[in-house]
A and B are shown apart, each in its own frame.
Chain A
Amino acid sequence: MNLFLLYLLLTKATLTSFSGTTSLPVIRQDFVEHYHQLTDRQLNAAMAAGQAAPGPNGLYVVSVGYFVDGVPGGCAGLLAVMTPPFLIIPMLQFLGRWADNPRIQSALRAVTVAAAGLVLTTALPLARDALTGPLPVVIAIGSFAFLLFRQRATVLVIGVAALAGLLGQVLK
């Protein structure tokens, strides 16, 4: 895939999201369904890599770019993550007074709850690919439950899940 097109598609996803993982449905539609540049398994792995790294959320987009085109693709992903935040500068110049407008706040809340539905819907095909037996199902449920109480423990969860997968293989 052309690097510029890769950047444009990833930027389309980051421009239409308002938090870390809400770009996921757009990315799956473009890269898995439309252009077939990524499998559900790779998208799932990108999510895991993004969550395991330090720093801001949403950097799984870098991993998506890396899967498509190596280091140049990863850099395109980084640029796609870095582009939308600069929109705040014209907003600071012209829209500062609108930030607290109740209707705009309400529209933003509606987009956030809609994104919850979209993320859940997008997770289903990824779950079908990853949850192929009792152990992966237990790991997924355990991760979900643990992260409800310890939201920032993602690195710990990924480490324990890897160990559990390994243990399952040894005991088989």
Chain B
Amino acid sequence: MLNEEVTIEKPTLYKLFLLFLRLANLTFGGGDAIMAAMNTELVSARKWLSQEGYSIAYALARITPGTNVLACCAGTAWQIRGWSGAVAAVLAASTPAAIAVMVLTEGYGALQSSAAARAAIAGTLAAAVGMMGTAAWNLLQPYLDRRRWLPAVVIASMSVALLEWLSFSPIRVLGVAALTGLVWRIPE
């Protein structure tokens, strides 16, 4: 493991669980803020992990499928306490929020019988459409600089065309995009 030579003290599984529970569920500012807090807590404050170990987990988390933050939790905790640590960290980071999501979903269903609640829900559904627009913009916007706008716009437009007009499946669209990115280099 990358961390063998620098770990000063291996935390108990319980301590590790509590730290990830707090970092992932109570850090405001989204994924990047959570991962920045992980860097500070794991490397500087507690010295459970080397900076190199954190940096490699951070880099690989960005190319791991699924939620980047959870991959970063799994990668850092695995270096500290092996597989049991990785499982504990991912459980701690995702379970409380998942329970909250289920409660909210149940609320949507239960409130459908009231006209006032239906009107409030209709408002939140309209807001969700706006959020999807923001999500798409946030994915594209970092690439709209002078050096990268052309491949970014071409590939994004191509994905719309392949899905909407040529009836490609989303997975095939992403595959075509990955191959395009291998050939047509999008600079850092």
B60 at the A interface (CB under 8 A): yes
B interface vs A, CB < 8 Å? 2, 24-26, 28-31, 34, 56-57, 59-75, 78-79, 83, 86, 90-91, 93-98, 100-102, 104-106, 108, 115-116, 119-140, 143, 148, 151-152, 155-160, 163-164, 169-171, 173-174, 176-182, 184-188
Instruction: Given A44-B125, A130-B126, A143-B126, verify A111-B177 contact (CB < 8 Å).
Output: yes
Given known contacts A14-B65, A81-B66, A139-B123, is B128 in contact with A51 (CB within 8 Å)? yes
Closest to A25 in B: B170
Q: How many A-B residue pairs have CB under 8 A?
A: 382
A126 touches B132 (CB 8 A): yes
Q: A166 vs B86: C-alpha distance in the bound complex, in angstroms?
A: 44
Known: A116-B137, A123-B132, A162-B120. A81 touches B70 (CB 8 A): yes
Contact A147 B131 (CB under 8 A): yes
Per the bound structure, the CA–CA distance linking A123 and B127 in Å amounts to: 12
Instruction: Give the contacting residue for B60; candidates A96, A135, A147, A163; CB below 8 A.
Output: A96
Would B101 and A74 count as touching, CB distance under 8 A? yes
In the bound complex, do residue B127 and residue A161 qualify as a contact, i.e. CB atoms below 8 Å apart?
A: yes
CA distance A157 to B24 in the complex (A): 21
Pairwise interchain contact B104-A92, C-beta atoms closer than 8 A? no
